[in-house]
Copies of this chain bind each other. A is one copy, B any other.
Amino acid sequence: MRHLIEPEDFTLDEIEELVDTGIEIYNNPKKYSKVCDGKILASLFFEPSTRTKFSFDSAMMRLGGNVIGFADADTSSTKKGESLADTIKVMGYYADIIVMRHPKEGAPKLASQYSAIPIINGGDGGHQHPTQTLTDLITIKKYKGTISGHSVAFCGDLKYGRTVHSLIRTLARFGTKKFVLVSPEELKLPESLKRQLVEKFGVELQEVPYLEEVIDEVDILYMTRIQKERFFNEADYLKLKNSFKLTREKLKNAKEDMIIMHPLPRVNEIAYDVDDDQRAIYFEQSEMGVYVRMALITKLLEVGPYARG
């Protein structure tokens, strides 16, 4: 039995196969619409995340399966003092696969040690969110043809965003050799991660303070939200936020086939009129997230494309 707690749980071959399966399901959804008939997904959101929950619920239903679960902290057994291990053991009799989001780092890992059924980490604190990384990878493969070999720029909050950390590490595993990092001084990529990227993967990191300087060389522009609460004072935030906001103006010098990604939700870091630009694919990215989750569920349940001979 397999779990997905962090992207490193899967080999590069397995990840690429998942991405390809997701694209295959996207192209032939009818063929897979009953492969989870009779199966139940337990969707356990100890912390709310409507978007992630809906993406999983939709994925399971589009495979013909059912969903039980809660959208916010378990209001019952946990309050009575039950351990997570006990909750997960019992859940193994109610469902066939679990996705859990938890505010505590490491909770899904712990759960996987006691679980009789596969566990998917749907996000644990600021730590891991592996299906967001799979969503990013399937989007890159679908829109750029391959996972690696592109010039990738990350823009915004590169310090706190687990999404960025996970994707950049995974792209480095896949052989991407150069990343452009665009962020305010306060929100730079952590030193430890930079060291790991350079020493372990031989990656080149180019740090620039303005997107305009580099946008003409970029194949994939990955935008992230800058949260006001990351700054010591509002003046700094107001001064900086426009420097890291993507506008039509800034896109003038970008390549015709560049793609603009964003994990969503977007607040104001991408101007609304950018949505109409054909390079903006952040909504399609959400769409591909459903298909890669469908692929993941079939893999962990060993059904459909992953059914055992």
A42 interface hit (Cβ, 8 Å): yes
A186 interface hit (Cβ, 8 Å): no
A50 to B43, CA, bound (A): 12
A233 interface hit (Cβ, 8 Å): no
Interface stretch, picked from A67-75, A154-162, A166-174, A251-259, is A67-75
Q: How many residues of A contact B (CB 8 A)?
A: 48
Q: Are A49 and B76 in contact (CB under 8 A)?
A: yes
Given A40-B58, A81-B267: A286 in contact with B93 (beta carbons within 8 A)? yes
A195 interface hit (Cβ, 8 Å): no
Q: How far is the CB of A239 from chain B (nearest CB, A)?
A: 19
Q: Are A95 and B265 in contact (CB under 8 A)?
A: no
Chain B residue at smallest Cβ distance from A286: B90
A48 interface hit (Cβ, 8 Å): yes
Q: Which residues of B lie under 8 Å from residue A82 when comparing CB positions? A: 264-267
Q: Are A265 and B61 in contact (CB under 8 A)?
A: no
Q: Which residues of B lie under 8 Å from residue A71 when comparing CB positions? A: 70, 75
Given A55-B94, A68-B54, A94-B290: A38 in contact with B48 (beta carbons within 8 A)? no
Chain B residue at smallest Cβ distance from A52: B76
A51 interface hit (Cβ, 8 Å): yes
Q: Are B54 and A42 in contact (CB under 8 A)?
A: yes
Given A50-B70, A51-B76, A58-B95: A86 in contact with B42 (beta carbons within 8 A)? no
